[in-house]
Structure 1
Amino acid sequence: MKKLLKVLKRILIALLLLIIVLLAVTYLYVKQPQFGALPEGARLEFVKRSPNYRDGKFRNLIEKPIITKGYSVLGELKKTVFEEFPHREPVDSLPSIKTNLKVIPADQNVMVWFGHSSFFLQLDGVRILVDPVFSGKASPLPWGVKSYKGSDIYTAEDMPEIDYMLLSHDHYDHLDYETVKALQPKVKYVICGLGAGAHYERWGYSSKQILEKDWGDEVKVKTGFSIFAETTHHSSGRGFKSEQSLWLSFFIKSPALNIYYSGDGGYSERFKKMVEKYPAIDWAVMECGQYNKAWQSVHELPEEVAQATTELKAKNMLPVHHSKFTLAQHPWDEPLKRISALSQAKPYRLATPMIGELIRLDDPSQVFQQWWKHVK
């Protein structure tokens, strides 16, 4: 009996030491720069004054559980680990076009999508870069989510000088440390949600470059040109403490065209309210991918994307948040197939460019191919 107790004691000590080592390794690992930083000091005090920050974190306008009723976190985790979901990533390399962004004439109003939610805008000579991720991954871990073949042909070096870089929220598939670090010398200003400036400051951006905004705030670019930080229904966080920076959508009002970017977020009545505030939307860039009925409150289903775009009364819609990373259980091309079918006979025009294809924003005659049909 004494021998057994000794053996059990040794096992318990070994397990305790292993737990201590794992905790120490984890603690040291999350201190690496790619995890960013939490707001503190004067920034934290400023964050606390936001009406959208309560009880130690940012909140959605209407509180909803992340997991849909009838589903569970454990159940979804079990499915991910033990069930097979076919065609979650393409076998073939995705078709793409390498557009030279540095030589586009300043008087052209264009957009170039880089896969997932990264895109470049040039409006009235102003260059805007949104949620850039060019590192080929959407995870802080070496073995984490990797980009599809052919979807990562652009780098920070390919970007021209950027007037405004916009961040919808700080999740890894939207805020990429390597990309943002490399872009710092090219970026005049970053517009991000309250609290998110802590990441950029840690990564070498000056306080003059960082414009942290609350919902409803306006950045005046020049006469007749403004960028508004607006609401969405989502979350944020890069480490163990979440909801410490605010998640955004954007309305870009220029003399030539008005662009709305939804950011990530589940469907809500905000789209009806948005069109009351911004009644003339030429282009809606809408999240459409990495969805699941289990987490429908934070990511729209394609049916909801079509509904929201109709409610926005947008003339044109570009679906994003697909065709680069696998972050859900659906087939990689399902978002494109479903939104194409759902958009037939809708009052908006659907744009489905290849990665890197130049979208002529003021050319309603431009035709886009259903390029995914030829990809295995």
Structure 2
Amino acid sequence: MLKTFGAAPSRETQRRFAALPNYADGRFENLDGVRFSPSDAPMSRMLLDFLRKPATVTPSRPVPTVRTDLRAPAPAAPNIVWFGHSSYLIRAAGLTILVDPVFSGAASPFAFAVKAYPGADAYGVSDLPPIDVLVLTHDHYDHLDYATLLALRGKVKRVVMPLGVGGHLRAWHFAPELLTELNWHEATELAPGVRLTATPAQHMSGRLAQRQTLWASYVLELPGARLFLGGDSGYGPHFKAIGEQYGPFDLALLENGQYNLHWHLIHTLPEETVQAARDLGAATLLPVHWAKFTLAYHPWNEPIRRLLVAADAAGQPVTVPRIGEPYTLGQPPRREAWWDFD
């Protein structure tokens, strides 16, 4: 088996999962029994979508990016640099935190498939400063990238991920003592005054077998600030519950893009992303999961256009930095329409 597929949790690990409330019959479950299977998006429908896709599913010219020296001293306030799709760097409270890095140029187990847009792949592991904490939300290929993880091995001090995802990293020879696996509502201290809590998401997992590993969002509590790291999720009541239990949030990084009505249960539509930010009590929304890969057949910039219309109608502040453009908490939202071309 190709190493890029990783490794499923061991039988001993699966036996430990058996007593968990969100695990049944060898699989993790969403809240309220919400379940999605790839068979819910039948191949015939997907083929029809492919044949009908507009030319604008990919940008007509390179995606604008900003070159930032990521090793330069960080501002005092939390600072975020987005790398396209769901990869971003958080520098806050003296820590450098990397989330869902995909720098191989492809969001798939094969280098020739699901290629990054020209311009969107402007950053690589060599551009990164030393990483204090690597945070993974789930094990899909557009969030957990084998080539990137190999390049990071030995360069990160700690990895935090949902239950079962550690099996992949152990198979890729990450030191076990660096790995922390969390169930929903479990927390770990990253540094004095810095706490990371795994929270529910409405999604699924799987590189080969489905739902053998958990998926999660996270609450990042910092001195004087609170961030929500959304991962992938369909819309549901869990957003309001998280907001009530852990919010409000100064910034929410939420999925917005690569949606399709066939898999609506596990990916929000843009208008739902705005509502999720409202449910969370987010002072500012930073939309991610777009502008780098084509995983669905909508125009590449449709997600941000739809989201901004809905956000403005709801009075939800949104910041949309370019790939590589730092955004520091407390700054005015960035709204220059750098995406405004087909």
Asked if the contact 1:343/1:350 (under 8 Å) is kept, the reply is: yes
Aligned partners of 1:110 and 1:123 also within 8 Å: yes
Residues 199 and 67 of structure 1: is their aligned pair in 2 closer, same or farther, counting only changes over 3 Å? Answer: closer
Once the 2 structures are TM-superposed, how far is the Cα of residue 36 of structure 1 from its aligned partner?
A: 0.4
Q: Distance in 1 between matches of 2:301 and 2:62?
A: 13
Deviation at 1:65, TM superposition (A): 4.7
Find the counterpart in structure 1 of residue 211 from structure 2. 243
Q: How many residues align?
A: 341
Which of 13, 30, 39 lines up with 2:9 in the alignment? 39
| Aligned match of 1:116 | 85
Change in CA separation of 1:109 and 1:145 when aligned onto 2, cut-off 3 Å: same
Change (3 A) 1:65 1:192: closer
> Counterpart in 2 of 1:56?
26
Contact 1:67–1:297 (Cα < 8 Å) also in 2: no
Alpha-carbon distance in 2 for matches of 1:281, 1:142: 37
Change in 2 beyond 3 A, CA 1:342/1:100: same
In the TM superposition, what whole-angstrom CA distance separates every residue of 1:51-94 from its partner, at most 9, and x where no partner exists? Answer: 211101111112235379xx851442231443333310011001
The structure 1 segments of at least 4 consecutive aligned residues displaced by more than 4 Å after TM superposition are: none
- Give 2:260's aligned residue: 292
Structure with max Cα Rg: 1
- Indicate whether 1:173 and 2:174 are aligned: no
Counterpart amino acid of 1:369? E
Shift of 1:45: 2.9
Moved more, 207-216 or 59-68: 59-68
RMSD of aligned alpha carbons: 1.7
**Distance across 1 between alignment mates of 2:53 and 2:247:** 44
The answer to whether the aligner puts 1:100 opposite 2:75 as a matched pair is no
Q: Which of 141, 144, 152 is the aligned partner of 1:183?
A: 152
Deviation, structure 1 residue 106 = 6.5
Which residue in 2 is equivalent to 1:17?
none
Q: What residue ranges of structure 2 are gaps of 5+ in the alignment?
A: none
Distance in 2 (alpha carbons) for counterparts of 1:367 and 1:301: 22
Contact 2:29 2:35 in 1 (8 A): no
Tell me which amino acid in the other structure corresponds to 1:112. V
SS of aligned partner of 1:87: helix
Output the TM-score relative to the length of structure 2: 0.95
Shift in Å, 1:42? 3.7
Task: Tell me the equivalent position of 1:371.
Answer: 338
Deviation at 1:242, TM superposition (A): 1.0
Residue of structure 2 aligned with 1:268, choices 230, 236, 241: 236
Contact 2:134–2:160 (Cα < 8 Å) also in 1: yes
2:285 maps to 1:317: yes
- Which stretch has the larger CA shift, 337-346 or 211-220? 337-346
Q: Is the 8 A contact 1:306 1:343 kept in 2?
A: yes
2 CA distance for matches of 1:190 and 1:157? 19
Report the Cα distance in structure 2 between the residues aligned to 1:235 and 1:43, rounded to whole angstroms: 19
Alignment of 1:136 with 2:105, yes or no, is: yes
Distance 1:67 1:330 in 2: 21
> Which consecutive unaligned segments of at least 5 residues does structure 1 have?
1-30
Question: Which one of the candidate residues 322, 325, 328 is aligned to 1:354?
Answer: 322
Measured at CA, do residues 140 and 278 of structure 1 come closer, stay the same or move farther in structure 2, by a change above 3 Å? Answer: same
Q: Is the 8 A contact 1:110 1:360 kept in 2?
A: yes
Question: 1:220: how far off?
Answer: 1.1
> What is the distance in 2 between the residues matched to 1:366 and 1:312?
18
CA contact (8 A) 1:264 1:298 kept: yes
Cα-to-partner distance string for 1:221-252 (whole Å, 9 max, x where unaligned): 2332200001001000111x111110000000
Does the aligned pair in 1 maintain the 2:253–2:287 contact within 8 Å? Answer: yes
Q: How far does residue 217 in structure 1 lie from its aligned partner after superposition? A: 0.4
Q: 1:345 to 1:145 in 2, by over 3 A?
A: same
- 1:195 pairs with 148, 161, 164, which one? 164
Cα gap change, 1:65 to 1:47, in 2 (>3 Å)? closer
State the partner residue of 2:200.
231
Q: 1:299 to 1:152 in 2, by over 3 A?
A: same
SS in 2 for 1:350: coil
- 1:308 counterpart SS class: helix
Match of 1:305 among 260, 273, 280: 273
